[in-house]
C-alpha cells in the first residue's frame, strides 16, 4: 500500500504560474492547495462569458455543441449537463497499471493552475473541489495507457474529473482504494454536477506530461551531480588524472554544463592520496580512456539538455491550455493543447539519460577487467575463481543500459490519427513522459552500481587514501550496512541499498558535507 505524503503547508494557487518548487511541494511532499482571491475573481469573470454564450442562439463549441468529430451537433440546454457528464465518463477510458500518486497530484495541480487563469470558463465551486481533493489527499486512479498527448492528456485528466462528479475510484491518504463518492463524503466534500464547458475545461491540457517533465527535471539535476561523484570515484579508483578537468582546458569549449561538471570533479578529487600517488615523473600513463577523461563533456551535455528542457517546462507552466479558451469577451478554438513542445524535450532527456548511463557502465566495466584496472583483482573478487566479485553487477548495469537505449527511441515522431481524422496528428507526449520516468529510474540504478563498485575499489587501494569527499561517500555506504571487500555474498540487497542512497540524495549529501553544494 502506497501512502500519499502529507504536509501541513498549503499552497495558494493564483493567476500567475505555479513554480517548479510548487509542483514538488504538492506532488511529492503532499502540500495542500487553495485558490487565491485573484484566481477566484478571474474564474468568475471567465464563467460570465461562458454563461452569456450558453444562452445565445448561435452554437459555441464546447458549450452548446458536441466534441471533436461530433462538434457539428447543436446540443439543447436541457441536455448539456448530460453532455458534460457523458464527456467525462466516455473519456475516462484508461487501461493498465495505476499511475504513481505523485504524477496524478502533479497533473491535478497543473490543471488547477490553468483553471485559475480564468481562461477556461470553469465555475469557482468546481475548481475549489479540485483543490479539495489535493488538500485531503484523495488521488484519483489514473491508468497507464490512454493519452495520445493531444488534445492534451484527455484520458488521465478525465479519470480525475470523474472523481469530481463522485464516480470512479480514488486512493485515500493511506493508499486505500475507495469509491470516489465515499471518499468525498468522508472528507466532507460534495461532488459537483458539471455544466456547460466544464467537462472540457477539466480534461483538455498537457498537465500529465508536463507534471512528469517537471519531476524528471528535479530528479535529473540531482542524478547528474551524483554522476559527477561516481565519475570522480572511478577516476580515482582507476588511477586516472584530474589534470584534464582543469578550468582553463574546459574554457576552450565554453559549454556551461561541461564547466560545472569539470569543476565538480576537480573539487571531488582534491586532496586525494590515490591521485597524488601517481602524479610523479615515473607515471607512464599518457591519457585516460574516454569514459574517464570525457566525463564532463558527456555529463555537461546532459546538464545543458536538462536546462533547455527546464526552459520549455517553465513556459508551459506559464501557459493556459484549453480548447476552446475564454479570451476577453469571446470563446475561441485553438491548438495550444498539442503536446509537441513538451514531447520533444521529454524524448531529448531520454536520449541524454541513456548516454550518461552508458558512460557510467563503461567506467564500471574498467574496474573489473584485470587488463585495464591497474593492479586491482579480477572483478574486484576476494579470491578470483572462487569468488566472482562484481562480475554480475556489471551484467545488471548492461541490461539496464540496453533498455535505456531502447527507451531513447523517441515517442514524439509517431502519430496515429484519432477521432475520425479530426485529430489527425498527435504528439504522443504522455508516452514520452512515461518512458522518461523509466529511464530516470534506470539511470539511478546504473549510477548506484558504479558507486558501489568504485567504493569497493577505493577500499582495495588502501593504504592509499581517497579524497575527503569520496571517502565520505564510502563511509555513507558502510554506515548504511553495505560492506566492503570480502568473499562473495548476496549482492542484490547491497545494490538496492545503494540505489536507495542515490535516489534519496544521501550519496550526494555525503560528498557535499565535505565540499558544500556541488554545481
**Phi, psi (rounded to 5 degrees) for 177:** -85, 120
Domain count, the chain: 2
Do the domain assignments include residue 218?
yes
Query: In this structure, are 182 and 245 located in the same domain?
Result: no
Do the domain assignments include residue 345?
no
CATH code of the domain containing 150:
1.10.275.10
Residue at a domain's end among 175, 205, 235: 205
* The Cα angle at residue 64 between residues 63 and 70, in degrees rounded to 5: 100
CATH code of the domain containing 492:
1.20.200.10
Look at residue 2 in the predicted model and tell me its pLDDT: 57
Query: In this structure, are 24 and 163 located in the same domain?
Result: yes
Do the domain assignments include residue 108?
yes
Q: Give pLDDT tens digits along the chain (519 positions).
A: 556 677 679 999 999 999 999 999 999 999 999 999 999 999 999 999 999 988 888 888 878 887 776 777 888 888 888 989 999 999 999 999 999 999 999 999 999 999 999 999 999 999 999 999 999 999 999 999 999 998 889 999 999 999 999 999 999 999 999 999 999 999 999 999 999 999 999 999 999 999 999 999 999 999 999 999 999 999 999 999 999 999 999 999 999 999 999 999 999 999 999 999 988 666 656 689 999 999 999 999 999 999 999 999 999 999 999 999 999 999 999 999 999 999 999 999 999 999 999 999 999 999 999 999 999 999 999 999 999 999 999 999 999 999 999 999 999 999 999 988 888 899 999 999 999 999 999 999 999 999 999 999 999 999 999 999 999 999 999 999 999 999 999 999 999 999 999 999 999 999 999 999 999
CA-wise closest residue to 435 among 308, 498, 350, 330: 350
Q: Specify burial of residue 483 (Cβ count, 10 A radius: 0-12, 13-18, 19+).
A: exposed
Query: In this structure, are 161 and 276 located in the same domain?
Result: no
Query: In this structure, are 169 and 253 located in the same domain?
Result: no
Query: In this structure, are 219 and 113 located in the same domain?
Result: no
CA-wise closest residue to 372 among 191, 491, 489, 238: 238
Query: In this structure, are 108 and 239 located in the same domain?
Result: no
Query: In this structure, are 201 and 217 located in the same domain?
Result: no
C-alpha cell of residue 224: 547528474
Judge contact between 228 and 264, C-beta under 8 A: yes
Residue at a domain's end among 205, 238, 264: 205
Query: In this structure, are 119 and 198 located in the same domain?
Result: yes
Query: In this structure, are 399 and 280 located in the same domain?
Result: yes
CA-wise closest residue to 220 among 444, 420, 434, 386: 444
Do the domain assignments include residue 152?
yes
Under DSSP, the state recorded for 399 is H
Query: In this structure, are 477 and 364 located in the same domain?
Result: yes
Judge contact between 227 and 269, C-beta under 8 A: no
Under DSSP, the state recorded for 461 is T
Query: In this structure, are 144 and 230 located in the same domain?
Result: no
- Residues taking part in catalysis: 61
Do the domain assignments include residue 279?
yes
Secondary structure class of 416 (helix, strand, coil): coil
Model pTM?
0.95
Domain of residue 26, residue span: 10-205
Query: In this structure, are 145 and 230 located in the same domain?
Result: no
Secondary structure class of 26 (helix, strand, coil): helix
Do the domain assignments include residue 5?
no
Do the domain assignments include residue 436?
yes
Do the domain assignments include residue 262?
yes
Residue at a domain's end among 182, 205, 228: 205
Amino acid at each position: 500500500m502506497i501512502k500519499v505524503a502529507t504536509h501541513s503547508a498549503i499552497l495558494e494557487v493564483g493567476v500567475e504560474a505555479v513554480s517548479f518548487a510548487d509542483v514538488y511541494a504538492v506532488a511529492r511532499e503532499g502540500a495542500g492547495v487553495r485558490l487565491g482571491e485573484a484566481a477566484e475573481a478571474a474564474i468568475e469573470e471567465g464563467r460570465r462569458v461562458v454563461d452569456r454564450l450558453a444562452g445565445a442562439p448561435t452554437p459555441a463549441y464546447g458549450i452548446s455543441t458536441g466534441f471533436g468529430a461530433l462538434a457539428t451537433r447543436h446540443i439543447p440546454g436541457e441536455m448539456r449537463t448530460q453532455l458534460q457528464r457523458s464527456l467525462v465518463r466516455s473519456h475516462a477510458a484508461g487501461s493498465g497499471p495505476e499511475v504513481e500518486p505523485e504524477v496524478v497530484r502533479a497533473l491535478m495541480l497543473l490543471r488547477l493552475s490553468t483553471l485559475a487563469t480564468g481562461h477556461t470558463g470553469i465555475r469557482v465551486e468546481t475548481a475549489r473541489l479540485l483543490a479539495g481533493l489535493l488538500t485531503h489527499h484523495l488521488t484519483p486512479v489514473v491508468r497507464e495507457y490512454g493519452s495520445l498527448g493531444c488534445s492534451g492528456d484527455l484520458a488521465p485528466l478525465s479519470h480525475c474529473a470523474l472523481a469530481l462528479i463522485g464516480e470512479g475510484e480514488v486512493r485515500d491518504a493511506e493508499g486505500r482504494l475507495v469509491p470516489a463518492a465515499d471518499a468525498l463524503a468522508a472528507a466532507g466534500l460534495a461532488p459537483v454536477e458539471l455544466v456547460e464547458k466544464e467537462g472540457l475545461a477539466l480534461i483538455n491540457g498537457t498537465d500529465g506530461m508536463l507534471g512528469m517533465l517537471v519531476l524528471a527535471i528535479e530528479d535529473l539535476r540531482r542524478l547528474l551531480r551524483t554522476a559527477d561523484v561516481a565519475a570522480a570515484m572511478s577516476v580515482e579508483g582507476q588511477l586516472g588524472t584530474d589534470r584534464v578537468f582543469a578550468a582553463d582546458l574546459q574554457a576552450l569549449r565554453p559549454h556551461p554544463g561541461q564547466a560545472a561538471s569539470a569543476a565538480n570533479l576537480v573539487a571531488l578529487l582534491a586532496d586525494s592520496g590515490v591521485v597524488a600517488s601517481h602524479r610523479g615523473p615515473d607515471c607512464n600513463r599518457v591519457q585516460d580512456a574516454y569514459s574517464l577523461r570525457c566525463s564532463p563533456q558527456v555529463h555537461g551535455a546532459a546538464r545543458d539538455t536538462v536546462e533547455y528542457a527546464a526552459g520549455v517546462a517553465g513556459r508551459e507552466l506559464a501557459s493556459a491550455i484549453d480548447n476552446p479558451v475564454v479570451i476577453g469577451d469571446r470563446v475561441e478554438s485553438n491548438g495550444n493543447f498539442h503536446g509537441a513542445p513538451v514531447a520533444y524535450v521529454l524524448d531529448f532527456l531520454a536520449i541524454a539519460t541513456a548516454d550518461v548511463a552508458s558512460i557510467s557502465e563503461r567506467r564500471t566495466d574498467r574496474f573489473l577487467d584485470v587488463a585495464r584496472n591497474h593492479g586491482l583483482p579480477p572483478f574486484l573478487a576476494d579470491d578470483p575463481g572462487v569468488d566472482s566479485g562484481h562480475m554480475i553487477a556489471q551484467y545488471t548495469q548492461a541490461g539496464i543500459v540496453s533498455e535505456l537505449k531502447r527507451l531513447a527511441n523517441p515517442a514524439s515522431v509517431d502519430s496515429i490519427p484519432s477521432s475520425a481524422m479530426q485529430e489527425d496528428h498527435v504528439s504522443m507526449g504522455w508516452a514520452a513522459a512515461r518512458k522518461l520516468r523509466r529511464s530516470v529510474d534506470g539511470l539511478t540504478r546504473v549510477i548506484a552500481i558504479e558507486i558501489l563498485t568504485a567504493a569497493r575499489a577505493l577500499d582495495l587501494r588502501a593504504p592509499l587514501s581517497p579524497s575527503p569527499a569520496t571517502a565520505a561517500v564510502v563511509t555513507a555506504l558502510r554506515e548504511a550496512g553495505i560492506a566492503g571487500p570480502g568473499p562473495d555474498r548476496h549482492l542484490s540487497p547491497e545494490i538496492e541499498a545503494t540505489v536507495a542512497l542515490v535516489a534519496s540524495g544521501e550519496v550526494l549529501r555525503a560528498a557535499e558535507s565535505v565540499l558544500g553544494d556541488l554545481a
